[in-house]
Structure 1
């Protein structure tokens, strides 16, 4: 019992740390807004692999990585997750650099609700009436935004869908956080490195444009790998629904940064959509707490009945 509690508490800390770091990540990307989004993502991939290599050696994870490389099932899953996370990174960086962080934050607000839909579609889970209403309300909010400011709604939907699928497949993949991320970045590195070399060779690369840019790019590996490692480690320790609720931290920080620091305009369509999403998440959270308390009462009653069964038995 103590071990389980410590396991969950560790997962909560890891998950919260990951989402806090992701929340402030737009500040990092904005400092590199003179670079192409594809160049930033390519550097994230290459420097992540270089950052992870020493960790793999220090923690002696080569045997586990070799086992993963030798499994067709694991490699197929990680090839899929690598493509998903690379696409997610590219869309998100593009959104930040092109003043669409509001749509980016909306995408990550939507992600827990997309997790619910994945549970229904892929795991055949059933929704309560409150959950069904919450999902419908969120869908209505997205529709309002699509009609009122629809030129960028694709950003929100792409980010929500790609990251929800990434989290789902990484959770079910039989590989730990460090090993999985190392293989994912290794799969992506040849393409990323080729793109960087082409940009530098054609004079379009910005790696050595100024000392600050060079330093920021060198930090790309740590800025990318640390929160992602924390997230994947948390996903192994926490129920998927709990991990989804922690994600509210990151988009809340991003929302504030977009409006207060970046000066992005909050339109009426944005306000209606965000209001619908926040209300849907509140309904979902309250329903989850109610269901959790009911389950806890049922478990307590079952334990009490089991403990009472022998002494209470009439001879």
Structure 2
């Protein structure tokens, strides 16, 4: 039991440690053009994701291939369009984030991921017609006020943050629309 608690504690704290130390490697890549960093990131991601899929997730991959084969022609077309759209969105998110880190400011790039949940919730409400309870509305208002208070920097930084966050928020919405397929395998296809 203590092992499970430790595992969950590590899983809960590790993302914050990674995110908190992210600026260290980012400082070292400032001299490279954003496109070059993006190509490298895509290449490394393809290698890592497909290695994991082929070594550990073959059954899920077979299920996904069978799922796709059994789709109707119109469903396949819709699925392929959503795949292309999601690939464009994740690439746009990565590129704008890298560009912001290199050419705008690290603050704008970090601010984007504070804004992202707010935009995602708004997109979920507007696009997916998700219901907002009064508790969720209060939480969103508090989040909006805190983001507005933090957005006292330059307008350019705020706009870049909103652009980065919008790419990712719409990407998340597209992933919610695509059902019955393993999301990790889907990431491999998007790359």
User: Is 1:180 matched up with 2:180?
Assistant: no
Q: CA RMSD in A?
A: 3.0
User: Is 1:88 matched up with 2:87?
Assistant: no
In 1: Cα distance, 2:185 partner to 2:82 partner:
13
Contact 1:64 1:179 in 2 (8 A): no
Match of 2:27 in 1: 30
In 1: Cα distance, 2:174 partner to 2:20 partner:
23
Match of 2:138 in 1: 130
Contact 1:112 1:164 in 2 (8 A): yes
Match of 2:107 in 1: 102
Match of 2:65 in 1: 66
| Further displaced range: 64-73 or 174-183 | 64-73
Match of 1:313 in 2: none
Match of 2:48 in 1: 51
Residues 220-299 of structure 1 mapped to structure 2, 5 A cutoff? none
In 2: Cα distance, 1:36 partner to 1:173 partner:
33
Q: How far is 1:180 from its partner?
A: 0.8
Secondary structure at the counterpart of residue 94 of structure 1: helix
In 1: Cα distance, 2:52 partner to 2:15 partner:
18
Deviations for 1:135-193, whole angstroms, at most 9, x for unmatched residues?
65257447x63xx61122221101221111222222332221321111011xxxxxxxx
Q: How far is 1:58 from its partner?
A: 1.3
Unaligned runs of 5+ in 2: 70-75
Residues 147-166 of structure 1 mapped to structure 2, 5 A cutoff? 149-166=154-171
User: Is 1:113 matched up with 2:121?
Assistant: no
Unaligned runs of 5+ in 1: 1-5, 186-315
Contact 1:81 1:166 in 2 (8 A): yes
Contact 2:124 2:173 in 1 (8 A): no
Question: Would the alpha carbon gap of residues 36 and 50 (structure 1) be closer, same or farther in structure 2, given more than 3 Å must change?
Answer: same
Residues 210-229 of structure 1 mapped to structure 2, 5 A cutoff? none
In 1: Cα distance, 2:51 partner to 2:141 partner:
48
User: Is 1:41 matched up with 2:46?
Assistant: no
Contact 2:50 2:188 in 1 (8 A): yes
In 2: Cα distance, 1:68 partner to 1:17 partner:
34
TM-score (structure 1 length as normaliser):
0.47
Question: Would the alpha carbon gap of residues 68 and 183 (structure 1) be closer, same or farther in structure 2, given more than 3 Å must change?
Answer: farther
In 2: Cα distance, 1:19 partner to 1:72 partner:
39
TM-score (structure 2 length as normaliser):
0.73
